[in-house]
Structure 1
Amino acid sequence: MSARSVLIASLALLAVLYLAWFGSLDEWIAAAVFALPVLACLAGVALARRTAGFWSGVLALAWFSHGVMVAWSRPAERGWALAEVVLSLAIVIAGSLPGLCARFGRRR
């Protein structure tokens, strides 16, 4: 499985997570605020935009911080938050892996 496919799958799962977490009619604005940047990154990666992986990793750092904050402060939402943390870490790793391999890979 390539880093790009892991990145696409992680972004898609994070968008689904946000829509399920904030999907009630009372919180549709929160669902849009959280899911739309994820979907924009997903579209960029799917269309093979050059910097989409980088920006996905940068935004994933904010998603990671949000997940840690919610897991720490709201025990009722801890499961959602920990899933957000795991997916954001997968996004950071998958988004950074091609650059790391290019930088530290074996020279020919």
Structure 2
Amino acid sequence: MSATSPLSPARRILIASLIALVLLYAFWFGRAHPDTAALLVFGLPPALCAFAAWRRARTAGLWSAVLALAWFSHGVLVAWIRPEERGLAWIELLLAVVIVFAASLPGLRARFKRKRG
């Protein structure tokens, strides 16, 4: 794939979801308790994955999906133990699920593609 070809819809969804997750963390950790370390720990990985996906790195989807499992687990934990942050945790959960599906879609399409001819 050349560098000038447009991004696939799955990759665009992946990038948008990762950026939305970065913005969620910026709001979440900047609002409740301005903690730069927490913002870096939570915000930097999805930002790097979004950049890698935008640059068409081959492993960007894999790492996004792997990290999304941790983000999903974090969302479940926070939704369970902190009722005041439950809404933000649910958004994190939903974004993690979208990231996993967007990262997996090209592989699923290739796997279940009908052979013609």
Same fold per TM (> 0.5)?
Answer: yes
Displacement, 1:26? 3.3
- Say yes or no: does 1:97 pair with 2:105: yes
Q: For the residues of structure 1 that align with 2:34 and 2:44, how far apart are their CA atoms?
A: 17
Q: Amino acid of the residue matched to residue 105 of structure 1?
A: K
* 1:63-87 per-position Cα deviation (integer Å, ceiling 9, x unaligned): 0000011001100000110000000
Q: How high is the TM-score relative to the length of structure 1?
A: 0.95
DSSP-derived class of the 2:98 partner: helix
Whichever of the two has the greater Rg, that structure is: 2
The 3-state SS of whatever aligns with 1:50 is: coil
TM-score (norm 2): 0.88
Matched-pair identity in %: 56
State whether structure 2 residue 40 is matched by structure 1 residue 13: no
The structure where helix makes up a greater share of residues is 1
More moved, 23-32 vs 38-47 = 23-32
Please list every run of 5 or more consecutive structure 2 residues that lacks an aligned counterpart in the other structure: 1-7
**Which sits farther off after the overlay, 78-87 or 23-32?**
23-32
Q: Give the ranges of 4+ consecutive aligned residues of structure 1 lying more than 6 Å apart after TM superposition.
A: none
The Cα offsets for residues 24-64 of structure 1, whole Å up to 9 and x where unpaired, read as 56312111110000111011000000010111001001100
1:107 Cα deviation after fit? 1.4
Aligned CA RMSD, in angstroms, stands at: 1.2
Counting matched residue pairs gives 108
